[in-house]
């Protein structure tokens, strides 16, 4: 699995106090790992700092609430990692 996933899994484990072995690319942050919205903001802060990016959480939440995207799109870890990689690539290209 990518180093991005390893970093994100480590952040989730430490921030949300979840055993690392429970966190897989298929894990749903909310449904499987029980991370609530406030805890996810803590995780977002750690991800922002680790990768020097800004996760667009408000936009993602709005898309999910309006039915424009399924929650899995942003909160299943393999998908979250793909979005993080895209943000890192966009930053490098700018």
Q: Which of residues 23-42 bind other proteins (CB under 8 A)?
A: 38, 41-42
Helix (H, G, I), strand (E, B) or coil at 93: helix
Q: Is residue 91 part of the contact set for other proteins (CB under 8 A)?
A: no
CB of residue 60 to other proteins, shortest distance in Å = 8
* List 32, 48, 63, 73, residue binding other proteins (CB under 8 A): 48
* CB-based contact 6:12 (threshold 8 Å): no
Interacting stretch for other proteins, rule CB under 8 A, among 3-11, 28-36, 48-56, 67-75? 48-56
Rounded (10°) angle between helices 37-51 and 3-16: 140
* List 9, 12, 23, 55, residue binding other proteins (CB under 8 A): 55
Q: To 10 degrees, the CA torsion angle through 52, 37, 24, 32?
A: -170
d(CA 48, CA 55): 7
d(CA 11, CA 94): 26
Q: Is residue 44 part of the contact set for other proteins (CB under 8 A)?
A: yes
Which residues bind to other proteins, rule: CB under 8 A? 38, 41-42, 44-45, 48-49, 54-59, 61
């Amino acid at each position: 699995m990518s180093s991005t996933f390893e970093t994100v899994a480590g952040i989730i484990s430490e921030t949300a106090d979840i055993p690392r072995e429970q966190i897989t690319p298929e894990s749903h942050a909310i449904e499987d790992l029980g991370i609530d919205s406030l805890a996810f903001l803590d995780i977002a802060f750690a991800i922002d700092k680790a990768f020097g990016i800004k996760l667009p959480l408000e936009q993602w939440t709005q898309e999910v609430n309006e039915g424009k995207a399924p929650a899995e799109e942003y909160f299943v870890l393999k998908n979250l990692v793909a979005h993080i990689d895209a943000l890192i690539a966009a930053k490098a290209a700018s």
